[in-house]
Amino acid sequence: MADKLVRKQSKLSVYLYVPNIIGYIRVLMNIVAFALCFSNKIIFSVLYFVRWVVCSQIQSSFHVWGCAGHGNRQNLLYHRISTACLLVILSQVYRPGLTFVSLLALDIASHWLQMYSTFLIGKASHKDVKDSTNWLFKAYYGNRTFMAYCCVSCEVLYIILFLLAEKQNENLMDVILHSIQQKSFLSLLVVISLFGWAVKQAVNVIQMKTAADVCVLHDTNKKQKP
Q: Is the pLDDT of residue 69 over 80?
A: no
Q: How many domains does the chain have?
A: 1
- Bridge partners of 171? 95
* 209 occurs within a structural domain: yes
- The model's pLDDT over 144-190, given as tens digits with 9 standing for 90+, comes to 899 989 999 999 999 999 999 988 889 999 999 999 998 889 999 99
| Residue 170 domain boundaries | 66-224
Q: Are 180 and 187 in contact (CB under 8 A)?
A: yes
Residue 14 lies in a domain: no
In a domain, 59, yes or no: no
Q: What does the mean pLDDT of the chain come to?
A: 84
Is 39 part of a structural domain of the chain?
no
**Does position 10 have pLDDT exceeding 70, yes or no?**
no
- The burial class, CB within 10 Å (0-12 / 13-18 / 19+), for 224 is exposed
Residue 75: the pLDDT is 65
Global confidence as pTM: 0.85
Would residue 46 count as lying in a domain? no
Handedness of CA 108, 109, 114, 117 (dihedral sign): positive
Task: Give domain status of residue 120, yes or no.
Answer: yes
Instruction: Give 70's pLDDT tier (boundaries 50, 70, 90).
Output: very low
